[in-house]
Structure 1
């Protein structure tokens, strides 16, 4: 099965896509209590059958809450189909994301622009009823779940804390576990603002040491270590792109992106673990690395120099 038990009653479900390299990337987190479960992100519509199969294997008969870190297709695109199976579930989503779940047309069009044919692999999102969206306190298994506003990867991004676990979404970037090591890179959108993303990392750091559950992908025991490394890495990427894009004699955006990736692979120790990834996962990462660098380049152009 594609289910990994991380701790007692906490499970990570891998949701691979029918595209090369799209494994150990998209996931759903399951907090289980008897035959009930809270889901943190559900993946795109293309993998809902796999998610529902996994929930059945775990003996889940009721889902009181679906917690969305943000509304991008790979995290929330399949929420409509999960609600068909568990109509009693209440969806928790950032205030700025609500209308895009009720009316998904703009979300779908924006996703096709940002992702190209990857959006078609994920599948179009279907709208949900506004009555399914929950605004109140969240309690499960006798414990409260804290919602933390966490913009940066998206303005509609939020994180969740349950007991000692921090469901961090993409606030600290993309993580890939390796043997006795890990790969880490920023996940910066087209409309990226460094100060906003950095402020979110500081807010998460102030929570103290927690166990980190990534949106992409896996688990780490010490949030303070990850947040510190993600913050330094993000600043280093911004500084590197600024140096290449604003100070050196590069005129073409594509050339800046190529040079930045090459330098970062040489100088960023965590990102350099790219070379330890399987070849198909490297190919997947190439697309998203370029997207992240373009988001940073747009930021430095806008903030510090003229293109």
Structure 2
């Protein structure tokens, strides 16, 4: 097996897309009776790895039935169009609020370009490739599609983004959660226990919607969550519930800190610093005894993006 592929059992493989750093961004490949589906793809730069994973598992490109981004943020869906050019039979299943951005990614590109600039866009993402409209379809809440008879259930899962769905796989009793069940980096695992962090990445973070989504996820009594950043977490119903409680506690803490600093001078830098300090304290409280300077480097981007998302929430007009 290639070193960037991890066999998670039940025909599910996590593929390290190579985005930013090792074991930061996962795409998932599900295999059932000679048929396959990708759930999240990473960026364009991940596509060679995804195709290599098919080859390593003895699957032809026409074995892929579905390409399913959990949402259209570029670290999850940036490679969908380019990947599908290599998969002659695949269809894309996209949240209805995200479908138009896969068919015409111009707005996605311009939005990210305004934040990162052209050099960084080319380095991290590459030029976005549109998905032909006739090969893409919108999902709906409680829709079930099949992969060689294996049912996959979709639910609308807002909170992180309004264009987000989660996918339930009964065979593994797990959800593919994109970013709705937070982030969990394997570097911070302690004695087999995962550390977890919510993501309030801009621009559609809604804490109450996120809590409602997590409640729906837990109602299925999952034994694991397949998170994009990074990998399979849980292992039992009780452990998934523990992780959910820890994550939602942090949601409340992050929102409270943001509200406290709403009118503070130099708000962004103060909020970002407060978030990073809180995350590092949680890492240590979890039992991590590694290099804290490296931990701060790993979490700096999350603190930056989460601060941005919280500030969008603070400045959103009251309904």
TM-score (norm 1): 0.87
The answer to whether the Cα contact below 8 Å between 1:78 and 1:125 also exists between their aligned partners in 2 is: yes
Q: Which residue of 1 aligns with 2:7?
A: 5
Which residue of structure 1 aligns with residue 181 of structure 2? 172
1:147-197: CA deviation from partner (whole Å, max 9, x where unpaired): 010012111011000111210110011111224233322211223222222
Q: Which moved more, 1:49-58 or 1:255-264?
A: 255-264
Distance 1:87 1:49 in 2: 16
Corresponding residue SS for 1:16: coil
Shift of 1:303: 7.1
Partner SS for 1:174: coil
Unaligned runs of 5+ in 1: none
Aligned with 2:29: secondary structure? strand
CA separation in 1, counterparts of 2:26 and 2:211? 25
Per-residue Cα deviation, 1:114-161 (whole angstroms, up to 9, x for no partner): 445543312121101111113574112322110010012111011000
Cross-structure match for 1:119: 121
Query: Secondary structure of the residue that 1:11 maps to in structure 2?
Result: strand
CA contact (8 A) 1:265 1:271 kept: no
**Which residue in the other structure is 1:149 paired with?**
156
| Shift, 1:280, TM fit | 6.0
| Matching residue within 128, 132, 142 for 2:131 | 128
What CA distance in whole angstroms lies between the structure 2 residues aligned with 1:226 and 1:115?
32
Q: What SS class does the counterpart of residue 151 from structure 1 fall into?
A: coil
* Backbone CA RMSD of aligned residues: 2.5
- 2:212 equivalent among 199, 202, 206: 199
**Alignment TM-score, normalising by the size of structure 2:** 0.84
Secondary structure at the aligned position of 2:15 is classed as: strand
Who is 1:295 aligned against?
309
Deviations for 1:194-224, whole angstroms, at most 9, x for unmatched residues?
Answer: 2222221222122223311011101112432
**What are the ranges of 5 or more consecutive residues in structure 2 without an aligned counterpart?**
none
Counterpart position of 1:239: 256
Tell me: CA distance 1:213–1:70, structure 2 relative to 1, closer, same or farther (3 Å).
same
Change (3 A) 1:268 1:282: closer
> What's the CA shift for 1:101?
0.7
1:210 corresponds in structure 2 to: 223
